[in-house]
Structure 1
Amino acid sequence: MRDVRASLIEFDDVNRYLGGMITVLDIRYPVDDRHPLAGRRVPDADLKTSDGDTHVFALPRIHLGSCLLASLHARSS
């Protein structure tokens, strides 16, 4: 069994699947949206805001399970 597991973790798809299960990033809540990220847990990512650079987990209330609406479109100046 150890040999099987050792050989399986050499595959990117297996690592992505196991990583999603461990970090709970594989959960998707039912929402009326077709975007692949809608209803998913947001990983901590770097953000550029009008107030400067920050990251997702530094946003107020993000740890309380509230929803986050993010516009990922670049603004033209």
Structure 2
Amino acid sequence: MIEWEPDVPRWRQVADVIRARISDGTYPPRTRVPSVVQLATEFGIAQATAQKVHQGLREEGLIYTEPGLGSFVSPSGA
């Protein structure tokens, strides 16, 4: 669990954690990132919030999603 900042949306805070994990190599390029359900469980957030995390990271180009397979770190990484 993380200590929530009251003035920052939770999805942004979780996205920051995942972004940091990509940057530090915890999730190397082309490896799977936690699913929506896994994020919801790990961070104690709603699945809709976790979906927004994935959406934001996709929009940044940090991850891509393969339907039926999951979401992965983009080949270029961070």
TM-score (norm 2): 0.23
Greater helix fraction, Structure 1 or Structure 2: 2
Looking at both structures, which has the greater relative contact order when contacts are Cα pairs under 8 Å and sequence separation is at least 6? 2
TM-score, normalised with respect to structure 1: 0.23
